Amino acid sequence: MCAVMYLMGFLYCTRMGIELLDIVDHYCITYYLLLEVTLEAFMFAEDFGWRHLVVHVKLATLGNLRTPLGQKVVPSFFWRLAIHFTMPSWYLFLFFYIFSTDVAEPYGGYPGWLQGIGWFCLAALLAVTPLGFARSLKLGTGSTLPALEQDEAASPQPWESRAPCHRWGKTRRAPYDCLDGGNHMNSDRSPLAGRNTKSVQQQQAIKC
């Protein structure tokens, strides 16, 4: 595969290489990027879900100086509107707008054979996409999230309604466990001493 891609790269070193690069960039990158973002929005809404996003953001920012308990996705209404409506509708509109423009007038004034290469590359990408989707459905691999995140994402209770089960001291990683009466998590008296701090924080944030 690497050798094939390497040899195909020589096409861009020819006299018409710049024009070919522009055609491929327009028909493959521009079109497919617009379509990909649209499909990504639908996949996010139907498969990944809002709860998974909340969990990922929480765990990715857990233990930071400004977000010791993890960052919340706020304002949730704005992000839900952007991901579920604004993003797919506008990108799909741009896809068909550029498509109609290229049909009415050849892109860049390039000759017909270059336009044909561009349309062929776009058709190949559009044909491969549903094949990959069908393959993933056939394999049925399911979610790739760790089990801990899947359990939390499946919970109907929102983060905002949960009371934090520990408080933070002056240092960046100085949580107090609510289960041991407020003893410091890293102290010698704490049963959690010696454990990985980040792992413990993640587990407690999930429980909270």
Domain ranges (residues) in the chain: 17-144, 163-207
The total number of residues shown for the chain amounts to 208
Place of tokens 């990158």: 29
pTM for the model: 0.60
Task: Please tell me the least confidently modeled range out of 53-57, 80-84, 91-95, 188-192.
Answer: 188-192
Averaged pLDDT for residues 66-92: 88
Whether the link from the prior residue into 68 is cis, omega within 30° of 0, is no
17 CB-near residues (< 8 Å, 6+ apart): 11
Q: Which two tokens stand for residue 76?
A: 């949730």
Residue 119, pLDDT above cutoff 60: yes
Is the distance from CB of 185 to CB of 178 less than 8 angstroms?
no
Return the closest-CA partner of residue 92 out of 34, 45, 155: 34
pLDDT value at residue 59 = 87
Q: Please, which pLDDT band fits residue 132 given cuts at 50, 70 and 90? A: confident
Q: Which two tokens stand for residue 106?
A: 């050849």
